[in-house]
Amino acid sequence: MTVNDTHLFMLRAHLGGEDEAVRRTYARITDPIAMCGLAELVFQAFLIAARRKFSPTWNHAQVISFVARLRAALCERPELLDPITAELELCRALGEDVNASPDVGATATARLILLDALIESLNLDDEAIWDLLLQARKNALRHYGENA
């Protein structure tokens, strides 16, 4: 699996609300396996952001409240975010041993939506977002070796 510059660009564009840039880049990717690198980058960025938001101490009430506020913001499209999956993914990111969601799509969507919300709640500027993404890429490299 590779986490490359295209993945960094796509995620940065997504986080910046540059939907057209994301669509153009996505259209150029012909290998579905290449998207695994993007999924890993999202996951690693989500882990970092969740830990920055909730660590060193956190509780389930904070997680539930965060997800509830996020779902309220998505009230016109509540089907986008499964609340149980979102809560489980946040708890997992914070180190709790939880059972995996059987729905891979719901898990991936939850991570991406939560990442957006976490970055917004942390009030990260462009430079801080870029630093977070570079750290996420480093973490992926460490986790999967030099081919990530």
Question: CA-to-CA distance for 89 and 105, rounded, in angstroms?
Answer: 13
Question: CA-to-CA distance for 51 and 118, rounded, in angstroms?
Answer: 10
pLDDT one-digit tens code per residue, 62-85: 999 999 999 999 989 988 999 999
pLDDT at position 60 is 94
pLDDT at position 5 is 87
Mean pLDDT along residues 16-44: 82
pLDDT one-digit tens code per residue, 132-147: 999 999 999 887 665 4
Query: Residue 124 has what DSSP assignment?
Result: -
The mean-pLDDT minimum among 19-33, 34-48, 71-85, 131-145 falls in 19-33
Provide the token pair at 106.
């719901």
Whole-Å CA distances, 6 to 82, 108, 145: 28, 19, 19
pLDDT at position 89 is 95
Torsion of CA 4, 98, 91, 69, to 10 degrees: 100
Q: pTM to 2 decimals? A: 0.90
pLDDT at position 148 is 47
pLDDT one-digit tens code per residue, 97-140: 988 767 888 999 999 999 999 999 999 999 999 999 999 999 99
Query: Residue 135 has what DSSP assignment?
Result: H
